[in-house]
Structure 1
Amino acid sequence: MSKMGFSVWNDWDNPCSYVAPKSSYTKEEFERNCEVESDGYYRLGETEEKFARWYPVIPEDICLDGEGGCYGLCQQAKGAFPVWYKDIKPIKKGESV
């Protein structure tokens, strides 16, 4: 079982998605959390089902600085667990939702 909770994933310093383990959230709970967290600052994409896993060493294609591991998306395989996934995009000033 994953220790990951609801989280914002970044592409360097830019938030790019919300992710949460399916074992901890129903689709409705995940979508409600996304709405609350976005607070009108992000345009939300469709909810998708994907897989993630813990990487003890950060893979080169994951844009993170630092030491230790991280969670990342992957194919369904050993160590992977199902997650809810939703792209987010910042809403520009003056843009309507």
Structure 2
Amino acid sequence: MSLRECIFHFKFIDGPQTKMLRALIFLPDDRQPSIKDFIAAFAQLGYHVKLVDEQELIFAPTNSKETYKLDITKIEYKGGEEKAQHDGDLKAIIEQLRGGRW
């Protein structure tokens, strides 16, 4: 089984401070990244987080004294097409057109 690179871009947000960052996950060719994959990748970077918004892929620290949020904005695969993981506005339009069923 071969592995492919999955690069995900995310915003580090802490009050007025915002930084655009990225991280790398290696995945089997037949698998998409899971929430656990993202949490593990963030932990390797020193961010101990939990998912707080599944639709927008926003994570917050598990330590309540920390105030930052991490927002995954794009996911791309090496050698493949660039794919947006989610688009909140597009999803809302599709839900409206489909009568609320996603």
TM-score by length of 1: 0.29
Which structure has the bigger radius of gyration?
Answer: 2
Structure with a larger share of its residues in helix: 2
Q: Which has the higher contact order (CA 8 A, sep 6+)?
A: 1
TM-score by length of 2: 0.28
